[in-house]
Chain A
Amino acid sequence: MSTLYEKLGGSAAVDAAVDKFYRRVLGDDRISRFFEGVDMEQQAAKQKSFLTMAFGGPNNYSALDMKTGHVHLVAEGLDDSHFDAVVEDLGATLAEMGVPAELITEVAAVAETTRESVLGRI
């Protein structure tokens, strides 16, 4: 039994998705403002952490880390609609890469487990 992360192709899949996903996020008017001030190089590393997590891969972020990591964004108005937009962009990125629909559903479900902590409701 391979894990979701292995089925997606592990860290190579993360590397392949980083540019595509981030370009989509920056081009998405619903959420791009949250990424305005963030250093591009740092963002590349953070996107990798995000994707690794969403792909069900190894990471050491706790729910509390997710809360504190986004608390300044929640203060700027981050809400469910933005969360939905990120999950949608992620799905579109994976579809563009030819990932089968059932795996995309699994990725969305993993991302969903972080909703309450990202939005600071825990």
Chain B
Amino acid sequence: MTSFTFEGRTIEAEDGETVLSALLRGGHEISNGCQAGACQACLLRSGDSVPRAAQNGLDDTLIERGIFLSCQAKASDIQSAERLDNEVFPRFAAKLVDKQWVTDDVIIASLKVDGWQGSPGRFIRLHSSDGVSRPYSLAAPAWMEPEFVQLHIRYIPGGAMSESLKSATVGNAFEIEGPFGKCCYRTTDQQEPILLIGSGTGLAPLYGIVTDALRKGHEGPISLHFGAATSSRLYFQLELKKLTDQHPNFQFHTYADSEVLENDRVGSPLDGALKEHAKLDGYKVYLCGHPNLVKAGQRKCFLAGASLKDIFADAFVAA
């Protein structure tokens, strides 16, 4: 047994139990989602030192304030915890201004959000009016006005947010919260090579990062590799093609596992990317999409020479 204080009350926890689990068991309402350290729904704050492993993926300003993932911290790691004030992640009113199906399972939703600012590639939490909330990455292309947010959402039949968005019409109200995470363009060196690998709607943050980098005048080579189950589920090629025409330092390759059309490669975008970029010393690497692809990518890219601190990833773990 171990214990910690939560907003003035003592919480008892089992050995090895997480802070989140102990609080939920004690009947406290703590928002949470994937419980795998990816969605950042369960952030709490502590005045004491918090293990860094429970702050993975948080940006530095949050780390400095003692904010941590309560699903990742063990109860024995902390002495005290409290919920965040509302001003840490204010909620913004958002209005759906455009909605398009770009394949039979991908919706591109554009929302107008007054007072919003967020770097493309990071993620937000979308709240629907019926009380569902899910994290989505910001595709927000750099040419968009800052108060607009573009999301690429894979429709999962029966999924709570998927169904909300399927039935949503232009003008419907949502709320967004964030931005979270640190998967965005980081200018340390305009010459450095950038490799981006993803699957499915993992293209959303990667596209956001690419357009942001190009708009900010990145000069080093930028190489994007992304895949889907079949060629018919790949989307956005025209937009990407346009970027390659305007920016000779940008190139992209598409992959599919089956029903592969002429312009696409067969197989995994990760293997394809590493075939072309065998040594990743000095690269910035971005990985987004299916959790298996992201996990394998973190390991393989690291072993290929990328530094742990230069690998940025968002695994689209389900709630």
Asked if B307 contacts A19 (CB within 8 A), the reply is: yes
Q: Is the CB of B298 within 8 A of A45?
A: no
CA distance A49 to B295 in the complex (A): 22
* C-alpha gap A90/B49 in the complex (Å): 27
B225 to chain A, nearest CB (A): 19
CA distance A6 to B2 in the complex (A): 35
Residues from chain A with a CB closer than 8 A to the CB of B313 are 41
Partner of A45, one of B15, B56, B302, B311: B56
Tell whether, in the assembled complex, residue B308 and residue A22 are in contact, meaning their CB atoms are under 8 Å apart: yes
Type the 1/0 row for B32-76, where 1 means its CB is closer than 8 Å to any CB of A.
000001000000000001011101110000000000000010000
Mark A60-83 against chain B: 1 for CB-CB distance below 8 A, else 0: 100000001000000000000000
Q: Contact check: which of A18, A42, A68 meets B53 at CB < 8 Å?
A: A42
- In the complex, which of the residues B298, B303, B308 has the most CB atoms of chain A within 10 Å of its own CB atom? B308
With A18-B308, A23-B302 as contacts: A42 and B37 at CB distance below 8 Å:
yes
**Count of A-B residue pairs with CB < 8 Å:** 45
Which residues in chain A, 11-56, are within 8 Å of chain B measured between CB atoms? 18-19, 22-23, 26-27, 39-42, 44-46, 48-49
Interface of A: prevailing SS: helix
Contact between chains at A27 and B308 (CB < 8 Å): no
B25 within 8 A of A: no
- Interface membership of B299, Cβ < 8 A: yes
Contact residues in A for B308 (Cβ distance below 8 Å): 18-19, 22, 40-41, 44
The interface size of chain A toward B, counting residues with CB under 8 Å, comes to 17
Docked Cα-Cα span, A41 to B295, in Å, equals: 10
A41 to B289, CA, bound (A): 16
CB distance from A51 to the nearest CB of B (A): 13
Closest to B306 in A: A19
A46: which B residues are within 8 A, CB to CB?
53
Contact B299 A23 (CB under 8 A): no
Please tell me if the beta carbons of A26 and B53 are within 8 angstroms of each other in the complex.
Answer: no
Q: In the assembled complex, which residues on chain A have CB atoms less than 8 Å from the CB atom of B57?
A: 41
Q: Closest Cβ of chain A: how far from B279's Cβ, in Å? A: 13
Q: Closest chain B residue to A27 by CB distance? A: B303
**In the complex, chain B residues 94-117 whose Cβ is within 8 Å of any chain A Cβ:** none
Residues of A within 8 Å of B72, CB to CB, are 42
Query: Is A23 within 8 A of B51, CB to CB?
Result: no
Cβ contact within 8 Å between A60 and B49: yes
When chains A and B are docked, how far (Å) is the Cα of A41 from the Cα of B56? 7
Answer whether A39 and B37 are a contact pair too, CB < 8 Å, given A18-B308, A19-B308. Answer: yes
Q: Provide 12 A-B residue pairs closer than 8 Å at the C-beta atoms, listed in order of the A residue.
A: A18-B308, A22-B302, A23-B303, A39-B37, A40-B308, A41-B56, A41-B57, A41-B298, A42-B53, A42-B56, A45-B56, A49-B51
Other A-B contacts than A45-B55, A60-B49, 8 sampled, CB-CB below 8 A, are A19-B307, A23-B302, A27-B303, A40-B298, A41-B56, A41-B308, A41-B313, A68-B15
